[in-house]
Structure 1
Amino acid sequence: MTAKPAAACRGVSEILSRVGDKWTILVVVAIQSGSLRFNGIKRQVHGISQQMLTRTLKALERDGMVERTVHPSTPPQVEYTLTPLGHSLSDTVRKLADWAAGHHGVIEDNRHRYDAQQAR
């Protein structure tokens, strides 16, 4: 097997950094089943600030995973939808989110046990 060029490794690292970001995962899961407006996403992604949600949506739009649609109204209504690329990511992200939710209790128990051993 040949080594990957450094530029290719950096590219993969950059993409994994984007799609592995906790806010990216939560936003993708939130809009997986259909278009949502900004405040609808914010209500589903607990703990995200308005600024962080704006940054995350812009990054996902830039990467071609989210489409932003502005509806002509007063005030303008903006909806966010996953693109086909975003949907291909959402399947993987959903599995990861389900795994995390299913194993949260076990991981918490392991952390408490480890912390108790370290305190001795």
Structure 2
Amino acid sequence: MSKLESLITELKEELQELEDARGTRFPMIEEATDIQIAYITKELSDLEMLQEHEKHQLNENQQIVLDWLKAYTDSDNGNGDKPISAIWYMMYLITGNAIERRVRNAYFELTRKKEAEVLQAFAEWGLNHERD
């Protein structure tokens, strides 16, 4: 378990303890508990966002392949306006040895899982990217 995962687990346990301790009928204690709960909830949200961001960090080879796919999709050559076309065209160029060597080499270094992560990142980019 990473340090981040440990911290998240620890904060969730602390949050649960605070929520379980509610109901003391002492307004000052309840107010302090509510403030602690709000603070920990916000901190947990931030840490979980950081954890999610770390999951989606691509290595150098993945980034090279993703950058090529995004650039081709953004190109104005008439064929590069659709994500599936970009993937197909990249594979066509790779099999024909007609793509930049660094892109070809980066692609061949990807495992199935790393390739799937590139596709996931490309899909997320495509969903958030508006093309005129």
Fold shared by both chains (TM-score > 0.5): no
**Which has a greater percent of strand?**
1
Larger radius of gyration: 2
- Structure with greater proportional helix content: 2
Please report the TM-score for the alignment, with normalisation by the length of structure 2: 0.34
- TM-score of the superposition, structure 1-length normalised? 0.37
